Amino acid sequence: MTSTDRELVVLCDEGGEPIGTAPKATVHTADTPLHLAFSSYLRDERGRVLLTRRALGKKTWPGVWTNSCCGHPAPGEATEAAVRRRIGQELGVSDRFFADSSEVLPDFRYWARDSSGVVENEVCPVFVIGLDSGAELYPAAAEVDSWQWVEPQALITAVDSTPCVFSPWMVEQLAHQALRQALLSVP
């Protein structure tokens, strides 16, 4: 049994309140229940944004370019703590390199179906995290196929021009002015 087989996601009601748990390995189906998640965007000391390409073995949206890191809070875990934990697990970045953290879209929620029929149905707060110089990436191959640091305006232009290249949650997130402003702000 892998750690993913034992990992639980927090199920929630329409108001985003926890109502139970389910194994992560079984929750993402054609009829995924609403559950808690998060998305994060890392910015380096130059203000660039980290894009990641999802590993080809991922159950949903394999090989798709997306934001820096996504994940699910564990039962009883604060969302910001889950963000820090997951960035460490997925990208190998120690939180000692976090210069700042901001919850930009606290009420973001989305529903999307990928080409295999698997649904994402998440209450998914969005964070922007600045990294100090010296932070290095050591992405987990099971999570990240490749990555690229990009200028925020280039990212916004690319998503606006060719949304089909990116994850649906990132496209929806970047439609919000609050996230665009946070990414475009000078570090």
CA dist 152 → 47, 48, 67, 78, 129 (Å):
8, 6, 12, 28, 14
- Catalytic-labelled residue, pool 122, 124, 143, 172: 122
Residue 120 in marked binding region:
yes
- Catalytic-labelled residue, pool 12, 69, 70, 124: 70
Residue 151 in marked binding region:
no
Active site residue 122: yes
Residue 103 in marked binding region:
no
Residue 80 in marked binding region:
no
Ramachandran assignment for 22, one of left (phi > 0), alpha (psi -120 to 50 degrees), beta (any other): beta
Burial code of 123-162, b = ≥16 C-beta within 10 A, e = fewer?
Answer: bbbbbbbbbeeebebebeeebbbebeeeebeebbebbeee
Helix ranges (H only) for 92-185 are 152-161, 168-174, 177-184
Residue 72 in marked binding region:
yes
Active site residue 70: yes
Q: Is the dihedral of CA 96, 97, 99, 103 positive or negative?
A: negative
Residue 176 in marked binding region:
no
Name the residues annotated as catalytic: 70, 122
Which residues contribute to the annotated binding site for Mn(2+)? 28, 35, 72, 120, 122
The binding site for Mg(2+) comprises 90
